[in-house]
Amino acid sequence: MGVVIEQELGTVHGDEMILNIGPQHPSTHGVLRLKVHTDGEIITQITPYIGYLHRCFEKHCENLTYEQSIPYTDRCDYIGSMNNNFGYAVAVEQLMETKVPEKVEYMRVIVAEMNRIASHLLALGTFGLDVGAFTPFLYCFRDRERILDLFEMLCGARLLYNYIWIGGVSHDFPVGWVEKTYEFLDYFEPKINEYNDLLTYNKIFIERSADVGVIPADVAISYGVTGPNLRGSGVRWDLRKDDPYGIYDRFEFDIPIGTGAMGSVGDCWDRYYVRVRELEECVKIIRQALDALPRDGDVHAALPKKIRPKAGHVYSRTESPRGDLGYYIASDGSDIPSRIKMRSPAFTALSCLNEISRGWMISDVIAILGSLDIVLGEIDR
């Protein structure tokens, strides 16, 4: 191993120091290693090393039937598992040309948006933690806990749900769940202002995040940065509106984008604030979906007896909390997929790290990394 490491070090200039951030570090959001060349505290180059959490998701999928892969998708992005299930189910349904019942469509939107709130709360909290604010993190966790409780009531699991199946969902909403969700929304909406008061408009927080780590719109598109990170750069692009899947075209909601209110468009503060604004939009969508939710209907009605799509392939993408979550599924006509590729949004977001953080300081890199909201389980798969 010694030899390998020596080769990796490459050329070091006189005044430069090489700093290994990770694989074990408090704010790499998982097992990520950043090889950082620094001149004093200024970063001259960053090379991310990933793969510490590689669990052979794609190889596993080649040995499992279509429905057996769903729990594996949970484990990729363990912060937004519902959205991963959703994306996978949508992709396979597209391949099989299945039509799912109306009620299931609404249920999927509700749980996916709830999970988006949970995921964004984690992202906001940990970003605060990365710039040194401890308390907002626990406030976010307090509210995220309520969502996890609701999910536990729904399917028994708190993180890895295996809830959305191909052609349906695993359980109908339990008795009282809808009412509890309404209660949660009433409780949650005023809390968003609490985060704003505590962190968003804090002078030090703005100093630390405004104008830092700017991703210009063209760089963001070229690097395949998607989701809130792309919207933070001022690009109004959301798959739920621009390329709707499921029944998202039926809902009224806005797409918040970064405006450079505190610094320039595409800085860390914009990315952070887009997520805050999206919390409000998620609440809007959930309210509409709950109001329109059909009372009866069998959630298992459209579950296929045998999943055996005809030969061919499909690339389908959905809007996960982190951005475009794509599944490329190739079928050879058997009940085992010949290839499943997951295009994870955090993977592409991380790839632009070197481009946007050169010239900033070590503290800023931690802030930039936090604002990109990466999940290593999804990057390494």
Partner 1 sequence: MDFAGIIGIINAKFGEGFASIDEEVSADTVRLTPEQWGQLAPFLRKTPELFFDAMMCITGIDEGVESENLAVSYNLHSMKHNHKLEIYVSMPKSDPKVPSVEQIWRVADWFEREVYDMFGIEFEGHRDLRRILLPSDWDGFPLRKDYEFPETWHGIVINKMKEGWE
Partner 2 sequence: MVDYFLETFSEITWLASSPNLSFVLAVTLAGLPIFLFMALNALIAVYAERKISAFMQDRLGPMGQGVGLHAGKWGILQTVADAVKLITKEDIIPATADRKLFIIAPFILFTASFTAFAAFPFNEYLVAADFNIGLFYILAMGSVGVIGIILAGYSSNNKWSLYGAMRSAAQIVSYEIPAGLSLLSVIMLSGSLAFRDIVAAQTGTTLAILPNWFILDNPFTFIAFWIFFVAGVAEVNRTPFDLPEAESELVAGWMTEYSGMRWSFFFLAEYANMFIVAGVASLLFLGGWLSPIPGYLEGNLWGIFWFISKVSFLIFVMMWFRWTFPRLRTDQLMRLCWKFFLPASFVTIIGVGIWDLFVR
Residues in the site for partner 2, rule: CB under 8 A? 17, 19, 25-27, 41, 128-135, 138-139, 142, 198-199, 202, 204-205, 207-208, 361-364, 366
Measured CA to CA, the distance from residue 148 to residue 143 in angstroms comes to 9
The reply to whether 62 sits near partner 1 by the rule CB under 8 A is yes
Which of 153, 185, 330, 362 touches partner 1 (CB under 8 A)?
A: 330
> Residue 66, interface with partner 1 (CB under 8 A)?
no
Cβ-based neighbour number of residue 97 at 10 Å:
8
Report the distance separating Cα 320 and Cα 73, nearest Å: 12
Among 127, 173, 223, 269, binds partner 1 (CB under 8 A): 223
Three-state SS for the chain is CHHHHHHHHCCCCCCEEEEEECCCCCCCCCCCEEEEEEECCEEEEEEEECCCCCCCHHHHHCCCCCHHHHHHHHHHCCCCHHHHHHHHHHHHHHHHCCCCCHHHHHHHHHHHHHHHHHHHHHHHHHHHHHCCCCHHHHHHHHHHHHHHHHHHHHHCCCCCCCCEECCEECCCCCCCHHHHHHHHHHHHHHHHHHHHHHHHCCHHHHHHHCCCCCCCHHHHHHCCCCCHHHHHCCCCCCHHHHCCCCCHHHCCCCCCCCCCCCCCCCCHHHHHHHHHHHHHHHHHHHHHHHHHCCCCCCCCCCCCCCCCCCCEEEEEEEEECCEEEEEEEEECCCCCCCEEEEECHHHHHHHCHHHHHCCCEHHHHHHHHHHHCCCHHHHHC
Select the span of 3-11, 134-142, 159-167, 251-259 touching partner 1 (CB under 8 A).
Answer: 3-11
Q: Does 144 bind partner 1 (CB under 8 A)?
A: no
* Residue 31 engages partner 1 in binding (rule: CB under 8 A): no
Residue 271, contacted partner among partner 1, partner 2, none, CB below 5-8 A by kind: none
Q: Which of 80, 326, 370, 377 contacts partner 1 by CB under 8 A? A: 326
| Contacts (CB under 8 A) with partner 1, residues 341-370 | 341, 343, 347-348, 351-352, 355
Binding status of residue 94 toward partner 1 by CB under 8 A: no
At its nearest, how many Å lie between partner 1 and the CB of residue 341? 4
Window of 54-62, 84-92, 118-126, 292-300 that interacts with partner 1 by CB under 8 A: 54-62
Residue in 59, 99, 142, 158 binding partner 1, rule: CB under 8 A? 59
At its nearest, how many Å lie between partner 1 and the CB of residue 339?
5
CB of 2 to partner 1, least distance (A): 12
Work out how close the CB of 360 gets to partner 2 at its nearest, in angstroms, rounded to a whole number.
Answer: 9
Exactly one of 312, 333, 334, 359 binds partner 1 (CB under 8 A); which one? 312
Contact partner, 56, from partner 1, partner 2, none, Cβ < 5-8 Å per class: partner 1
Note the residues at the interface with partner 1 (CB under 8 A). Answer: 1, 4, 7-8, 50-51, 54, 56, 58-59, 62-63, 218-219, 221-224, 235, 237, 242-243, 311-315, 317, 324, 326, 328, 330, 332, 338-339, 341, 343, 347-348, 351-352, 355, 380-381
